[in-house]
Amino acid sequence: MTENHGTTITAEPDTAFIDIEREFDATPAQVFRASTEPDLVARWLGPNEMDIDVVEYDARPAGTYRYIHRDADGEYGFRGVFHTVDAGLIIKTFEFDGAPGHVSLETTELTDLGGRTRLRTRSVFGSVEDRDATIASGMEHGVRDSMDRLAATLRAE
């Protein structure tokens, strides 16, 4: 995969991983807040052309989340469970309602770069086929839009 607008998405052949990296002009505390507070998450998560309804976003260990993206073609639900929620580390599961039982584990690390933050997320899938299906679904577009919108949200805060 490629880099665009500062967001790098890597999916090495024959692996069950997707790695995402982006640097932001914000502190780790600001990025953490934008990643864990439901009102802020609703401002940046998802493709530009979709609306989002954050049904639940309880960012604490064992807390759950659910959100629904909507466009003219329908709605797309996502859900998961937070496992670790710490200032520099968020670990949660991720499941698309349209592919029940195909759960990935997402680890997001926030690194302090002295007033800037490097966000790194690794999504681990149950198989290479699950990972490839996620890529084929258009996830790259949604990730790039989300990262650009997160940068804008951080600038506005």
Cβ atoms of residues 17 and 156 within 8 Å? no
Q: Counting Cβ atoms within 10 Å, is residue 77 exposed (0-12), middle (13-18) or buried (19+)?
A: middle
Per DSSP, what are the bridge partners of residue 110?
119
pTM above 0.85, yes or no: yes
Q: Is 133 helix (H, G, I), strand (E, B) or coil?
A: helix
Q: What share of the chain is helix, strand, coil (3-state, %, to 5)?
A: 25, 45, 30
pLDDT tens across the length of the chain (157 residues): 443 459 999 999 999 999 999 999 999 999 999 999 999 999 999 999 999 999 999 999 999 999 999 999 999 999 999 999 999 999 999 999 999 999 999 999 999 999 999 999 999 999 999 999 999 999 999 999 999 999 999 999 8
* CATH node for 3-36+84-156: 3.30.530.20
- Which residue, chain included where needed, has tokens 């890529």? 135
Q: How far apart are CA 69 and CA 138, in angstroms?
A: 14
Q: How far apart are CA 109 and CA 122, in angstroms?
A: 9
Q: How far apart are CA 31 and CA 71, in angstroms?
A: 27
